[in-house]
Amino acid sequence: MTFQEIIKLHPKPISLDLDARLRCIEECLDCAASCTACADASLSESDLGELIGVIRVCLDCADVCEATARIATRQTRPDIRLVRATIEACAAACLACAEECDRHAAHHEHCRICADVCRRCKAACDEVLAF
Amino acid sequence: MTFQEIIKLHPKPISLDLDARLRCIEECLDCAASCTACADASLSESDLGELIGVIRVCLDCADVCEATARIATRQTRPDIRLVRATIEACAAACLACAEECDRHAAHHEHCRICADVCRRCKAACDEVLAF
Amino acid sequence: MTFQEIIKLHPKPISLDLDARLRCIEECLDCAASCTACADASLSESDLGELIGVIRVCLDCADVCEATARIATRQTRPDIRLVRATIEACAAACLACAEECDRHAAHHEHCRICADVCRRCKAACDEVLAF
Amino acid sequence: MTFQEIIKLHPKPISLDLDARLRCIEECLDCAASCTACADASLSESDLGELIGVIRVCLDCADVCEATARIATRQTRPDIRLVRATIEACAAACLACAEECDRHAAHHEHCRICADVCRRCKAACDEVLAF
């Protein structure tokens, strides 16, 4: 997406882990949108009563991923503790969401795909945290 | 991005304008991230004092685009007035942001690109509103 | 809340409608949190199947109210069209949410209270728009 | 604020630490709005160049506090790891923001008050984490 070009034009870039960060941001955006869509699809399923846990964790995961995408995007004067704690929370949210969606993957394709996106996002967070 | 697959798996889809909606959601996500990145790049520029208006309108535009992306993603029991008013606000935000970023496009490439993304997002919003 | 003191310390305040704006911001924050709580309470009710519309509109209303609270808080170089369109979307969201929650007010006290908060927030938005 | 009444009406409440949670949610909302207002006031100050770090950390802190307020509000089927990691990130964000705002407290009253709100929010997060 185009936002990555803008990030690369920052006058004082954080160069060390740029590729990992760009991947992390894109996965966070995709994961937030995927969780919003999975919660919404679940709300319209006939077995809605089985999907309460999915809806809850997808709402939470979307909230954390959006905040993380914003914070990981900013390169001006970062506070490392804040940035790391946020990405750690995002990894925890993605893991929780992947585990809950996995439990419904056999019955609901949207849960199966959402679990995959969450795992990709967790891996991208972990990669940034490894620096 | 993967979220579009999940949107297509909604058990009771809004089929009428699906392609336009998917484009609108993706543009909103890209525009929100682009505005966050442009505000952040502006905050580190040496002529920061000239870019106060850019920072303000980019922050606003990012906030509206994120809310719009979420609302346009949901297909369960939509309230049409709410959805339309939100997308109209998004189109207004993108127009305002494009105009302000345009004023700095000659000096800052991130403003030039951000203005383009805002215009694309406005066009995608207008397309959904045309249905 | 304390944020109102900070708003009053802005070096270039928007003085015209300050009281109306402060009320609007506080109502938006309360409405966003109330809608988040009402959607969540609804998700745990035994008649969850009846509350799908409540959950959907509460999620939307929370998203619009949060974006509106942020934008109405900022006083630096506002774009009036953007600000007005956002507050108009917020009023529309609050009206839609109040109407849907009203339909369940007799059975669920959280829906009755949420409808009240939404109406208060709509009135506060309308007051700002009247300037 | 009214949202607290709705939280108390949840059909399956998390009773253990309700008072601490309600305080944490209210502080998160106040802190998010205070940081948004402090970043905005800073953007209009004549010594803007000195306040770049304040603006950056206030934007981050507002994003984390809003996500935390939403997640702490929800009582349906929580994932404890996700909730704790988010509140930990919020405490880290509030600490970072308080420290940066403190550095400007002598010159800018909005920074002094914002630092206080951040410290109150951090304490409220820590209280929830102590359970």
DSSP string, chain A: -THHHHHHT-SS---TTHHHHHHHHHHHHHHHHHHHHHHHHHHTSTTGGG-HHHHHHHHHHHHHHHHHHHHHH--SS--HHHHHHHHHHHHHHHHHHHHHHHTTTTT-HHHHHHHHHHHHHHHHHHHHHT-
> Could you read off the pLDDT of D58-97 as tens digits, one per residue?
999 999 999 999 999 999 999 999 999 999 999 999 999 9
Contact at CB, C43 and A49, closer than 8 angstroms = no
| pLDDT of amino acid C131 | 85
For residue D75, give the nearest of C7, C40, C113 by CB distance: C40
Handedness of CA C110, D61, B43, B1 (dihedral sign): negative
Compute the mean pLDDT over every residue in chain A, rounded to the nearest whole number.
Answer: 97
| pLDDT of amino acid B14 | 83
Mean pLDDT of D95-120: 98
Q: Rounded to an integer, what distance in angstroms lies between the CA atom of residue A80 and that of residue D65?
A: 17
> Could you read off the pLDDT of A21-47 as tens digits, one per residue?
999 999 999 999 999 999 999 999 999
Q: Rounded to an integer, what distance in angstroms lies between the CA atom of residue B130 and that of residue B124?
A: 10
Q: Which residues of chain C neighbour B82 with C-beta distances below 8 Å?
A: 57, 60-61, 64, 89, 92-93, 96-97
Structure-block tokens of residue B23: 């484009």
Give the number of other CB atoms < 10 A from CB of residue D49: 10
| pLDDT of amino acid D14 | 83
| pLDDT of amino acid A100 | 98
Shortest alpha-carbon distance between residue A70 and chain D (Å): 8
pTM over 0.90: yes
Contact at CB, D64 and A82, closer than 8 angstroms = yes
Contact at CB, A29 and B1, closer than 8 angstroms = yes
